[in-house]
Structure 1
Amino acid sequence: MTLLSTLSPKHSGDKGMEYNLFTLKEHPEMASDFDAMNEAGWPTFMLYDEVAIQYYSQVVEIFPQFQFCIADESGTVMACCNSVPFYWDGTEEGLPAGWDHVFMKSIEDYHQGRVPNTVSALAIVIHPSYRGKGISGIMLDALKGIVKSHSIEQLVAPVRPSSKSKYPLIPMDKYVHWQNDKGDSFDPWIRTHLRAGAKIVKLAPESMKINGTVADWESWTNMKFPESGTYIVPGALVPVTIDVEKNEGRYVEPNVWIQHFI
């Protein structure tokens, strides 16, 4: 974790926790912290999404004001968020197909001169040392603040449910309706969004696609795939399909579109 030498004004979050927020526009030298946080926070295979590999550097360059981290009082980075502005007509049908599509659409809209009216979160990653301390709610509030500061009133996210990987054989359309003993959403990350006033809009059944050779998948998962079939791998929300004859593995991740009201 990096120490931020020059801190921005303090903010107060849940339970009185004080933190400092900075964007890449203010501190471009902190771009490496986003990379380090993503590497620490995601399963290895998630870092090989072809869309992200192609477009991430453009997102950081074009939209630095929508990429932010928070740090504690010592300057230690606790969590980071990537997000992008784009144009959305407000209808369910008009939402991008998912994570990959909104990534590309934000860049396309920018180059075509479309004025954005919506921001989509791409990822909120909390360092393992700070998980379970209410940081997720703080990050959502911070993101809402950034969206509002740019006079944008719509915030959406193709949410990756945090506990879905424990239940990879359960269809997403069933999983999102599970409830805990208190009648709240069973999934912690979905629950955090709903408690913040959001609503579920619809599923994104093909939100992200990751392809690789059999050797790639064996390296990413530290597993062996002796024959073709579907495999449950750590961190995946659904099984991965391996075709040994074609020497390819394919992962199609479903997400859940959630909308916040600014």
Structure 2
Amino acid sequence: MTDTDSLQITTLSERPALVPRVYEISDTWPAFVPHDMVGSALLTQVAETFPQYCVVATDGDRVVARGFSVPFDAESAGREEMPDQGWDRVLAWAFRDHHRAHKPTIASALEITVDTDYLGRGLSYRMLAAMRDAVGRQGHTVLLAPVRPNAKHLEPRVPMTEYIGRRRDDGLPTDPWLRVHVKAGGTIAKIAPASMTVSGSLAQWQEWTGLPFDADGDIDVPGALTPVQCSTAHGRAVYVEPNVWIRHSVPGN
């Protein structure tokens, strides 16, 4: 087992040569997630566009974890810090603001992904801390995060409001990824009920999941946090994923 103390974690602005390598990681994202239309259009541009907001971990010459965040303006008309459309909305706002040279007022995390060979070693805590430090160096006092609870997919029909209320005897959330954020000082603020949307034809969903998608109604899909809504009459299915907004104060600000 590799000693995580030997890993190097930096921003991508400090190591720009790693920008094209951040997707070399072996991950466990469900096959349908990359088909979110906002993410498929913009996510691969985050590392190059906002390298000072992105962190990367390496073990020797191997990229073993990435963490993406983006700045956006939450104070203009029609904006808010924690929108109900969560992940999709802040990603779209970040690029709109960047192209229009609007000054950002806050930063939001998008993802922390750890290589499957390096899971269970506390690397996610270190990546989160590095991301908070990175946004702090850009002058932000808060890091938001539309968090995808990583055990919620085991209970897709449990409402998110009920799920996030579950606590262990020590008062921490039962969900492992929510617990990482809370132990790191984050505060659960609210639910983003429509944080990510993946829509497609029944044929596409069959390809993504290996399931028949031949019946109307809610379909439980491995890796999905809520059921996918299937309509055979209309030939399509839609997945609307809820996330959980967590607010982190940035140390030193």
Tell me the TM-score normalized by structure 2: 0.90
Q: Does 1:184 align with 2:169?
A: no
Residue correspondence of structure 1 range 1-40 to structure 2 within 5 A: 17-37=5-25, 40=27
Aligned to 1:144: 132
Structure 1 stretch 180-189 or stretch 135-144: which is displaced more?
Answer: 180-189
CA distance in 1, matches of 2:107, 2:6: 25
- 1:163-189 Cα shifts (integer Å, max 9, x gaps): 000110100001001012333211011
CA distance in 1, matches of 2:49, 2:119: 30
Q: Does 1:114 align with 2:102?
A: yes
Match for residue 234 of structure 2 among 216, 239, 246: 246
Which residue type is aligned with residue 67 of structure 2? C
Q: Does 1:164 align with 2:152?
A: yes
Aligned to 1:5: none
Q: Is the 8 A contact 1:117 1:154 kept in 2?
A: no
Same amino acid, percent of matched pairs: 38
Aligned to 1:233: 221
Aligned to 2:199: 211
- 1:132-173 Cα shifts (integer Å, max 9, x gaps): 110110111110111112121110000000100011010000
| Higher RCO (Cα < 8 Å, 6 or more apart) | 2
Structure 2 regions of 5+ residues with no counterpart?
A: none
Question: Shift of the alpha carbon at 1:216?
Answer: 0.9
CA distance in 1, matches of 2:225, 2:40: 21
Aligned to 2:118: 130
Structure 1 stretch 225-234 or stretch 196-205: which is displaced more?
Answer: 225-234
Aligned to 1:76: 62
Q: Is the 8 A contact 1:41 1:126 kept in 2?
A: no
State the SS of the aligned residue for 2:94: helix
Q: Is the 8 A contact 1:214 1:247 kept in 2?
A: yes
Match for residue 105 of structure 1 among 63, 85, 93: 93
Aligned to 2:29: 42
Q: Is the 8 A contact 1:51 1:100 kept in 2?
A: yes
State the SS of the aligned residue for 1:201: strand
Q: Rate the CA distance shift 1:22–1:204 in 2: closer, same or farther, 3 A.
A: same
CA distance in 1, matches of 2:112, 2:81: 24
Q: Does 1:87 align with 2:62?
A: no
Structure 1 stretch 180-189 or stretch 42-51: which is displaced more?
Answer: 180-189
Which residue type is aligned with residue 38 of structure 2? V
